[in-house]
Amino acid sequence: MKCPHCKEKLIFSSLRKSLRTPQTCQSCKEGYALTISIGRMFLLLLPVAFSLFMIRPISLYWGIDPTFFSALIIILYGVSCLTIVKRAVK
């Protein structure tokens, strides 16, 4: 993910910390925070639900446990709902 101000790549450890409190970018010293986009979450809800419904017959055909694919889809759904916003650092 990139800084919303200067578009530099952000370090994963600072992204993880920004879920709790706003962090400063290393290059531009501006604040950012990682949030969950509710609009994106609702927009992706139907495709994710459809793919969870369709994954069972496909995974059984391939001989793989459907729980593995369901967990993978849920994790990708959660990660795709994250977004970085500009926030002031106290």
Q: Residue 4: which pLDDT band, with cuts at 50, 70 and 90?
A: confident
Residue 17: CB atoms within 10 Å: 14
pLDDT score at 6: 87
- Give strand pairing partners of 2: 9
Q: Any idea which residue has 């400063």 for tokens?
A: 24
pLDDT score at 66: 85
pLDDT score at 81: 84
CA distances, 85 to each of 28, 36, 76 (Å):
15, 10, 20
Encode pLDDT of 35-61 as tens digits: 888 888 888 888 888 888 888 888 888
Q: What is the mean pLDDT of residues 1-18?
A: 80
Query: CA-to-CA distance for 8 and 25, rounded, in angstroms?
Result: 8
Tokens of 62: 């391939």
Q: Any idea which residue has 């990682």 for tokens?
A: 34
Average model confidence (pLDDT) for the chain? 83
